Amino acid sequence: MRISSFNIYDRITRGFQENLKKLFISQEKIASGKKINRPSDDVIGMSKVSDYKLHINKNEQYRRNIDEAIVHLSVTESTMDSVIDNLNRAYELALTGINGDENAESRAAIAKEVQELYDQMLNFGNSRFRDKYIFSGYKTDTKTFDNNEIYQGDNGRTELLIDRDVKMAINFTGDTAFSFHLSEEIVVDDSEGANVANAVNTTANGATFETYRVEFIAGSPVDYEIYNNDTGVLVASGTYTSGAPISFTDGTNNIDITIADDLGAASPGPKVGDTFYIAPGGDNLNVTFFESLDLLKRGLNNNDVPVSTLAMGTFGYAISSANNIRTEIGAKMNALDSHIDRNEDNVLSWKSTLSHIEDADITETFSEFTRIEVALQALRNTGAKILSQSLFDFLR
Amino acid sequence: MSLFGLFDIGKSALFASQTALDVTSHNIANANTPNFSRQEAILEIATPVSTRTGFLGRGVTVSSVRRHFDRFLEAQLLGQKQNFGRAAVLEDVFSQLEEIFNEQNGVGLSTKLIEYLNAWHDVANNPQLLTQRTALLQNADNLVSESRQIENWIENMIQSIDREVPIIIESINTMAVEISRLNERIAQVEGGSPKEANDLRDSRDKLLSDLNELVNIETLEDSSGRVTVIVGQRNLVSGSIVHSIAANKTVDGQFAITLENTDITDRIVNGKLSGLLDSKDTMTNGALKDFRRLIAAITNEVNIVHSRGFALNAQITDFSINDITGQKYTSTQGVIQSATITDFNSFSPGDYVIQFNAGATQYDVYKNGQLVSSGNTYSAPSVLTNGMTITFSGGNPPQGNDIFHVSAQGEDFFNPPSVYTLNKTSSNANITSTAIFDRTALAYDEYEIRFTSPTAYDVYNINDGTTIINSATYSSGGSIYFDGIEVVITNGTGSPQNGDIFFVSPLENAVENFNVAITDSDDIAAAKTSSGLPGDNENALDMIGLFEGDISLYDGTIIGFGDTSYSTPGLGNATFNDFYNGIVMTTGTLSGAAKDSLAFEETLLNEMQFKREAVSGVNLDEEAINLIKFQKAYEAGARLISITDELLEIVLNL
């Protein structure tokens, strides 16, 4: 083949271009630390890069959502801890208050402390975090309990997305966190030959927590009178029929009380002078912690041991209800912890895969760079030799 | 045979050597001239004379100066120039386009989209807090400005192509004129003789080669050496006559290339010009349209979800109820007289479909495509559902199997998309109004309303190439409904004619109109119930679901009832991020393919150029040898004359 001067110059120029281009690309990889610097470098790789970056970014947001949930739940948790302490203290005070050694004066003193517990409980109920009432459901701008301790919130549970398709409610509403379900009656039995088999508030809607005093007053068969302990109002009276339940209505409440004979007694059946103090239970009866504390306070203030005893009975339910909430929070926290672990594991593994796809192997890139450099040097040497040769140099 | 004959031989030797030296010098002088073909003086034995002793040589003559030229190689090279010209433009354009979407450099929409989504997460976490809401609006603004920036970049690229095309057309015309001039001179110089006008031909070949890089041409050479240059089956140059090529823009902004009054746009298939036309087309109908489709989908779907929620300060007046029964259900006979919100606490915005049973005594209610209550007894004249009272006209009560659609909407997050129209060909009629009457049915496609006669039209979906309305009857000022869009065409100077085309697009202005409609962060609707304010975050969770592709805005299956067929909205099954990544990958693939193809065409071109230069190129060493060769021959010729002179001296001195 014939070679023209153009062929020689052209080949050398092109050789320089090719090598410089490779050097440039290699240098770009070193400068950015990435082997994919634009989609066309590796379209499939780039689509994975976008995908992983999206996953990482989303998971980092889920992680922030988890942190948010943890903060909310922690605040609720510490509040519930205080609530439980408060209830335990109230129980202790009730225990002290019903002791026979106490008198009206000392009971009134204890009632003062109960009043403090009550105020404290109201503060817990109206807890705020970041300017919102945490127990008000969705109505976070509304004070949870008004001055009459009536719940003002709704039953909204704010759910946070803590992972793709995983939602977790992070709030508890005041009507569940500060009340308990009184399913069974509490009774103080001041009788010889009878006891209360059951006392049920059958009202489905609007059942309220009330305590009653059932007095068997005179006659045979014996007559009874029933008083509301709070108002002192006589709500029912009649002649007792053995085995038949005593039914009466007080406000919205429909109460059925069944008295049973104590078969082990010397003479079974209610007698004149027998008295029962009863807090009826019910399937739809919720009692707030405030009502419990209020009952105790009134009992102690009135030097009324039976009523105080009824109040003391409610604290067992209250403490167990508050503990349930506390346990539920604990379970949520545990779940969040395991979500954090998984979230971090995922992000870590995505990041390492991402790095594997898009990051340049620096050692490899450097050796590539050196290789091109050597080739370029060789080209310069040979080019210089070829270009400097011409027959004209020898013609004199 | 006389001694004087020796002078003639010597003279011929001197003359031949001198000519050869001339040619050699010309070669040396043009060693670096592009497209120069090295020349060679062809020496021939002069016609011998017959003598008694036989034929006697009469020296040397120069028969011609030939250029070393391989017609086959040259033709291949010209074709390759076209390929190279096209590949170079495509690589240039697509590598720029790719940089617009280069996520690796931190540009592109992906980051903005995810930041916007994350801002909704933060609002969902604390729906009552101002900081998070303000941050969401800020992120929405960022999304808007980045989108506009991207559209701007693509449009700038298209505009620079628009500026480049006329320049190329101008160059083609200038070259055509020069080729025609050279044609004439070559014809004059060669005058039909077999001797070629070497240098003129080299100049013309250079022009043809450059022209080939711009546009695909074919050439024919006639017997007198003139070439005819053909572009798209039309003559650009025919001997000395030049027809100018022209590029004009059509109403829709596309180029129409004409030559000899014929549109040859479709026949421009190679060279720079085709590269420019094709890359413009790819950008307009590919990246730009896809990007607009994405933004239209984001705008519309975010609005749909947002307007189904309640803002912090939501009031009854923030909501509107639109009756779109007439646009959708042509067989429905009953008429809704009024639809109002009568119980704000139980009101829940959304798209409601009320379907009556065969006896029109009971009705089912669908909300956002889901059956929410069935078998309700109808007590005339009203239907009470979800806090709304829908009262039917006394004169047109609901009939059996009637279906009604009311859309209850709150405030939009973004300015809603609008419909762009273009009268492509009609000189008589015009589009007088457009609206999006059902945004849940919007398909993010583009359409043409094509008239087949003054009274009939088809509606053609440009994206999937289907005719969605076939041969409907046209009446001036009547509404045309398709895919949630309403278009009204009205006669102007007369009825539309067969072949009239109107272009309808909900995408064209999607990015231009893209803007955040909300200014007060309290207006962000995070709640799904008015009673749940401010802690209700369920609408914000729905918004996240929209971005994750988890919620369906409308289940297209229940609204058909064989009445009108609607396509389901959305971007197929892709989430916004998926769809955007699709655009990025497409630009990457385009750019990658263009790079590969350029590298290939360049290598091929170089190889051919190398071969051409091997035949036609000047080798300076070779020319140096020729110099010595002909110098020595000249010296010897001169010696011959000197010796002849001495011989004559001897004879004269006898």
Closest CA to B351 of B329, B378, B370, B332: B370
Q: Per-residue pLDDT tens for B120-140?
A: 999 999 998 999 999 999 999
Decide: B271 and B85 in contact? Cβ < 8 Å.
Answer: yes
Average pLDDT over residues B306-310: 94
Closest CA to B622 of A88, A214, A360, A2: A2
Average pLDDT over residues B254-272: 93
The pLDDT score that the predictor gives to residue B557 is 35
Closest CB to B585 among A36, A46, A132: A46
Decide: A106 and A158 in contact? Cβ < 8 Å.
Answer: no
List beta partners, residue B408.
B321, B350
Provide Rg for chain A, Cα atoms: 41
Q: Among residues 139-198 of chain A, which lie with CB inside 8 Å of chain B?
A: 139-141, 154, 156, 158-161, 164-165, 167, 171
Q: Report how far apart, in Å, the C-alpha atoms of A325 and of each of A77, A171, A175, B95 are.
A: 9, 11, 12, 61
pLDDT of B644 > 70? The answer is yes
Closest CA to A329 of A34, A26, A69, A96: A69
Q: How many CB pairs under 8 A join A and B?
A: 164
For residue A154, the chain B residues in CB contact (below 8 A) are: 531-532
For residue B535, the chain A residues in CB contact (below 8 A) are: 132, 136-140, 156, 158, 171
**Residue B559 pLDDT grade (very low, low, confident, very high; cuts 50, 70, 90):** very low
List beta partners, residue B38.
none
Tokens of A123: 């503060």
Query: Is A21's Cβ below 8 Å from some Cβ in B?
Result: no
The pLDDT score that the predictor gives to residue B271 is 94
What's chain B's average pLDDT? 90
Label residue B57 exposed, middle or buried (CB < 10 Å: 0-12, 13-18, 19+). exposed
Task: Calculate the CA B639 to chain-centre distance.
Answer: 73
Round to whole Å and give the CA distance between B441 and B568: 6
ipTM score assigned to the predicted complex? 0.85
First-last CA distance in chain B: 19
Q: Per-residue pLDDT tens for B593-615?
A: 999 999 999 999 999 999 999 99
What's chain A's average pLDDT? 91
The pLDDT score that the predictor gives to residue B551 is 60
pLDDT of A189 > 90? The answer is no
Decide: B305 and B543 in contact? Cβ < 8 Å.
Answer: yes
Q: CA-nearest residue of chain A to B584?
A: A39
Closest CB to B619 among A3, A43, A159: A3
The pLDDT score that the predictor gives to residue A6 is 86
Pairing of strands B320-323, B403-409: antiparallel
**Residue B347 pLDDT grade (very low, low, confident, very high; cuts 50, 70, 90):** very high
Round to whole Å and give the CA distance between B319 and B412: 10
Q: Per-residue pLDDT tens for B70-106?
A: 889 988 998 899 999 999 999 999 999 999 998 888 7
Round to whole Å and give the CA distance between B287 and B274: 19
pLDDT of B567 > 50? The answer is no
Specify the DSSP element, H or E, that contains A350: helix A305-358
**Residue B553 pLDDT grade (very low, low, confident, very high; cuts 50, 70, 90):** low
Q: CA-nearest residue of chain A to B611?
A: A7
pLDDT of A172 > 70? The answer is yes
Residues of chain B with pLDDT > 90, as a percent, come to: 72
Residue A39, preceding bond cis, omega within 30 degrees? no
Strand B485-491's sheet: what is its strand order? B429-436, B485-491, B479-482
Number of alpha carbons in the 13 Å side-chain half-sphere of residue B608: 22
**Residue B552 pLDDT grade (very low, low, confident, very high; cuts 50, 70, 90):** low
Mapped onto helix, strand or coil, the DSSP state of residue A303 is coil
Mutation target for A interface from B67, B619, B629: give the one with most A CBs within 10 A: B619
Average pLDDT over residues B220-245: 92
Average pLDDT over residues A296-306: 93
Most confident of A1-10, A258-267, B396-405, B540-549: B396-405
Q: Per-residue pLDDT tens for B17-31?
A: 999 999 999 999 998
CA distance A121 to chain B (A): 23
Round to whole Å and give the CA distance between B627 and B564: 90
Q: What DSSP character marks residue A193?
A: S
Specify the DSSP element, H or E, that contains B67: strand B60-67
Q: Per-residue pLDDT tens for B137-175?
A: 999 999 999 999 999 999 999 999 999 999 999 999 999
Round to whole Å and give the CA distance between B114 and A54: 8
Name the residue type at position A287: V
The pLDDT score that the predictor gives to residue B270 is 94
Tokens of A371: 């290789």
E strand map for A191-315? 194-201, 212-216, 223-228, 234-239, 246-250, 253-261, 275-279, 286-288
Query: What phi-psi label fits residue A33: left (phi over 0), alpha (psi between -120 and 50 degrees) or beta?
Result: left
Round to whole Å and give the CA distance between A45 and B589: 12
Q: What DSSP character marks residue B172?
A: H
Q: Per-residue pLDDT tens for A35-94?
A: 999 999 999 999 999 999 999 999 999 999 999 999 999 999 999 999 999 999 999 999
Cβ-defined contact of B613 to A10 (cutoff 8 Å): yes
List beta partners, residue B364.
B355
